[in-house]
Amino acid sequence: MMTSTQTKQLVVVTGASSGIGKATAIKLATMGYHVIAGVLSMTEAEQLQGENIEPFVLDITDDQQIALLVQRIRQDPDHRLLQVLINNAGVELNAPFELLPLQEWRRQLDVNLFGQVALTQQLLPLLRESRGRIINITSVGGKVALPNYAAYAASKFAFEAASDALRREVARQGIDVVVIEPGGVQTEMAAYSGDLSLAFAEQMSSDQKALYGAMISKAVGSQTAFLKHALSASKAGATIAKIATKARVKARYSLGMDAKMTLPMAHLLPTRMMDLALR
Ligand SMILES: NC(=O)c1ccc[n+]([C@@H]2O[C@H](COP(=O)([O-])OP(=O)(O)OC[C@H]3O[C@@H](n4cnc5c(N)ncnc54)[C@H](OP(=O)(O)O)[C@@H]3O)[C@@H](O)[C@H]2O)c1
């Protein structure tokens, strides 16, 4: 996508303080892009200093911070265009559908869907100017809803759907929308999410434990096992950076062997068989 005469085009990566976002931001910066790296606080920004990386305080659920980002790009001192937006920020707290408090359902939808929508809406005019690209980091969980992952999966299914609709709406405007569906990636989120689920389970009543305790332990156990062989964040970041910048891209990529195996299976198997397989 970028030629040697076009170095230092602007790229925005959200949720760049850790994990996949950080690795993607660092990789793109080494490739010569100027990366505006979204972080939640300036303390996190300190770990992200480096050539071509500009940490920027960006909570994607905060309209004012989004407006400041738009202003920053519009007033770029070198008149560079925004070439790529990487919607990577995300949160998860996995717990049974019945027991996860509604406010926690809302928080996950708020960050994993509405925040991405809010930011994308505001950056679309800038991407129209550059005929740029949007990369949406969804998840295998955006295609396969595992037990204990209802809220997270709901947010990622919705993000997948919104991405497809958006791609079909803006293709004629010269903007491309690409979905990347990672399986397990060794990141902070992945490392802590099992502990968060177990801590949630600890707070459950004995009746609730009888209903859901074993399910949560199984979900956490299999996630831990999967993560041992999962992609590293730096490999995931390098792949995302490559997809973000190559000339011709598919509309959708899966990331990691587990994703590449699970997604076709989910497509082929009848739902009841998938239910059994996932149980
Ligand atoms: N790791 C996996 O196995 C895996 C698998 C499939 C999909 N994914 C997806 O990949 C993306 C990156 O996840 P990760 O594993 O790299 O997790 P991570 O290390 O926890 O990164 C998530 C990033 O999002 C930021 N964030 C949280 N709330 C935000 C908000 N309101 N506004 C802006 N940024 C916010 C976090 O900031 P703080 O750290 O400051 O809270 C962090 O930088 C997520 O969308 C996740 O759903 C991950």
Is 213 inside a domain boundary? Answer: no
> Residue 186: beta bridge partners?
232
Asked, for residue 211, whether it belongs to a domain, the answer is no
pLDDT per residue as tens digits for the range 81-129 = 999 999 999 999 999 999 999 999 999 999 999 999 999 999 999 999 9
Q: Is 86 exposed, middle or buried (0-12, 13-18, 19+ CB in 10 A)?
A: buried
* Atom 32 of ligand 1, residue of closest alpha carbon: 59
State residue 7's pLDDT score.
54
**Which residue's CA lies nearest to atom 20 of ligand 1?**
189
Tell me the average pLDDT across 38-52. 89
Is residue 154, in this structure, part of any structural domain at all? yes
In a domain, 204, yes or no: no
**The residue count for the chain:** 279
pLDDT at 4: 40
pLDDT score of 25 more than 80: yes
Confidence check: pLDDT of 8 > 90: no
- Given the CA of residue 185, which atom of ligand 1 is nearest to it? 3
Is a pLDDT exceeding 70 seen at residue 161? yes
Q: Which pLDDT does position 3 carry in this prediction?
A: 46
Residue 200 lies in a domain: no
Q: For 27-46, what is the mean pLDDT?
A: 94
Check if 152 is active-site. yes
Domain extent, residue 266, equals: 4-184+232-278
What is residue 189's predicted lDDT score, i.e. its pLDDT? Answer: 86
CA distances (Å), origin 237, targets 33, 38, 119, 172, 203: 14, 15, 21, 29, 36
Q: At what angle do helices 206-228 and 188-202 cross, to 10 degrees?
A: 160
Is pLDDT above 70 for 53?
yes
The beta-strand segments (E) located in 99-214 are 133-137, 176-182, 185-186
Q: Give the Å distances, CA to CA, from 260 to 252, 263, 264.
A: 12, 6, 7
**Tens of pLDDT along 185-219?**
999 888 899 999 999 999 999 999 999 999 999 99
Q: What is the pLDDT of residue 1?
A: 52
Task: Give the Cα separation of 63 and 196 in Å (integer).
Answer: 28
- Specify the amino acid at residue 106: R
Q: Average per-residue pLDDT in the chain?
A: 94
Residue having the nearest C-alpha atom to atom 33 of ligand 1: 59
Give 122-150 pLDDT, tens digit per residue: 999 999 999 999 999 999 999 999 999 99
Percent of the chain, pLDDT > 70? 97
Q: Atom 2 in ligand 1: which residue has the minimum CA distance? A: 185
Q: Is 223 within a domain?
A: no
Does any domain span residue 272?
A: yes
Q: Do the domain assignments include residue 214?
A: no
pLDDT tens digits, 222-256: 899 888 889 999 999 999 999 999 999 999 999 99
Q: pLDDT band at 221, cuts 50/70/90?
A: very high
Total count of domains within the chain: 1
Ligand 1 atom closest to Cα of residue 89: 24
Residue to probe by mutation, ligand 1, list 12, 20, 119, 181, most atoms within 8 Å of CB: 20
Which atom belonging to ligand 1 lies closest to the Cα atom of 182? 6
Q: What is the mean pLDDT of residues 73-84?
A: 96
Kindly report the number of other CB atoms within 10 A of residue 106's CB atom: 12
CATH code, domain with 253: 3.40.50.720
Q: Is the pLDDT of residue 260 over 60?
A: yes
Cα separation, 187 vs 193, whole angstroms: 10
Residue 6 pLDDT more than 70?
no
Q: Tell me, what's the pLDDT at 131?
A: 97
Q: Is 234 exposed, middle or buried (0-12, 13-18, 19+ CB in 10 A)?
A: middle
Predicted local confidence at residue 42, as pLDDT: 87
What's the 137 CA to ligand 1 centre distance in angstroms?
A: 10
